[in-house]
Amino acid sequence: MAMDHKLSTTSLIPLLLTTFMLMISFFNSISPTEARHLLQTTPKLPDLPTLPEPELPTLPDVELQPLPEIPKPELPNLPELPELPELPHLPELTHVPKLPTLSSSAHSTANP
């Protein structure tokens, strides 16, 4: 009994992508023998020459001179502000009542 299977585009694309990725992974790698050959046949680069220490330029002697004084700007004349009114006397709170807390038993009975 021959079964007629049709490959749809949606099932064919993942198959092609997987095959392509496998092919790239095999062709993009080199064998240990090939790597050894490349290491043996690649010419060695000569060592970089050491550069001489650069000479620092000699700077002329400069006498230190004091900085010129900058005059301070005058502050603008601001009008005097009126005095603030006295705030009403509030009684001091010596005892702050705490909010009631739920005990674990009360909580468990409220939400079974």
Segment 24-59, tens digit of pLDDT: 877 767 788 888 898 899 888 888 888 888 898 888
* Sequence-ordered alpha helix ranges (H) in 1-112: 9-27, 32-41, 104-110
Quick check: pTM over 0.75? Answer: no
pLDDT of residue 92: 76
Shortest CA distance to 21 belongs to which of 10, 9, 33, 29?
29
Segment 46-92, tens digit of pLDDT: 888 888 888 988 888 778 788 889 998 888 888 888 888 887 777 77
For residue 5, is pLDDT > 70?
A: no
Q: Where along the chain do its domains lie?
A: 11-40
